Amino acid sequence: MAIAAHNVTLTLGSDKAPVEILRGVDLEVEAGTSVALLGPSGSGKSSLMAVLAGLERANGGSIHVAGLDFAAMDEDDLARARRGRIGIVLQAFHLLPTMTALENVAVPLELAGIADPFGRAAAELEAVGLGHRLTHYPAQLSGGEQQRVAIARAMASSPAIIFADEPTGNLDTATGHAIIELIFARRAALDATLLIITHDPELAEHCDRVVVMHDGRIEKRA
């Protein structure tokens, strides 16, 4: 299993006004498969992804991702473990504005201690069709191009698992389709596991499996 999560709970907010966001999530994802995560706004999809990607700590339950036992790790361990194992693509691209496209992809590789970070970053940007935009800053790139940089950044370390949270949410339909094709193509090339949050039923059909969240839980399917 690439992901094995059992009875995961997450409560945020203040002590006086706690909000139960994840209320006992069970999810298993086989290595090398793709899963679409659907569900109404506020049902907890992004929160679940944050917990599975090691960006947020769960309050309870067990989480094993890419062979790591998250419960046994502190936040520093998690941050270190994420590098090279887990790639994350978000709706807002979160590129660093003061760095070029090449630097945005290369610097995380450098931090992860991966060999030849700039050569590798250039090759990955080439693979997403941005070989001619290496020295552009995010503000000089279109939304679709910025998302390509974010995809290159997420994939450059050949992660075993890719998380994507509405990666086409800020893009027009045609650009969005191209981005989805790119994510699936890069996933196939890396033989990675993919968990993708989407509101698009057509995209969900592209995935091996669809799971639906409701009110902090994953719907049981017959």
Ligand X SMILES: Nc1ncnc2c1ncn2[C@@H]1O[C@H](COP(=O)(O)OP(=O)(O)OP(=O)(O)O)[C@@H](O)[C@H]1O
Site residues (CB under 5 A) for Mg ion? 46
Shortest gap between Cβ of 132 and ligand X (angstroms)?
33
Contact status: 167 vs ligand X (CB under 6 A): no
Q: Of residues 45, 120, 153, 217, which one binds ligand X by CB under 6 A?
A: 45
Interacting partner of 98 out of ligand X, Mg ion, none (Cβ under 5 to 8 A depending on kind) = none
Q: What is the CA radius of gyration of the chain?
A: 17
Q: Which is nearer to ligand X, 12 or 92 (CB)?
A: 12
Buried b / exposed e along 6-24 (16+ C-beta atoms within 10 A) = eebbbeeeeeeeeeebbee
Q: Which positions from 46 through 75 interact with ligand X, judged by CB under 6 A?
A: 46-47
Residue 168 interacts, among ligand X, Mg ion, none and using kind-specific CB cut-offs from 5 to 8 Å, with: none
Sign of CA dihedral 218, 197, 43, 21: positive
Q: CB nearer to ligand X: give 46 or 147.
A: 46
From candidates 3, 5, 43, 145, binder to ligand X by CB under 6 A: 43
Q: Exactly one of 15, 41, 74, 173 binds ligand X (CB under 6 A); which one? A: 41
Is residue 12 at the binding interface for ligand X, with CB under 6 A as the rule?
A: yes
Residue 168 in contact with ligand X, rule: CB under 6 A: no
**Near ligand X by CB under 6 A: residue from 2, 44, 108, 207:** 44
CB atoms within 10 A of CB 95: 21
Under 8 Å between Cβ of 65 and 2: yes
Which part of the chain contacts ligand X (CB under 6 A), choosing from 35-43, 66-74, 128-136, 178-186?
35-43
CB of 25 closer than 8 Å to CB of 216: yes
| Site for ligand X contains 21 (CB under 6 A) | yes
**Could you tell me the smallest distance in angstroms from the CB atom of residue 37 to ligand X?**
9
* Binding piece for ligand X, criterion CB under 6 A, among 45-53, 100-108, 174-182, 201-209: 45-53
> What is residue 87's three-state secondary structure?
strand
Residue 121, phi then psi, degrees to nearest 5: -65, -40
Report H helices in 83-172.
101-111, 117-127, 143-155
Listed in order, strand segments (DSSP E) in the chain are 3-13, 18-29, 34-38, 60-65, 68-69, 86-89, 161-165, 193-197, 209-214, 217-218
Residues facing residue 27 across a β-bridge: 5
Residues engaged in binding ligand X (CB under 6 A): 12-13, 19, 21, 39, 41-47
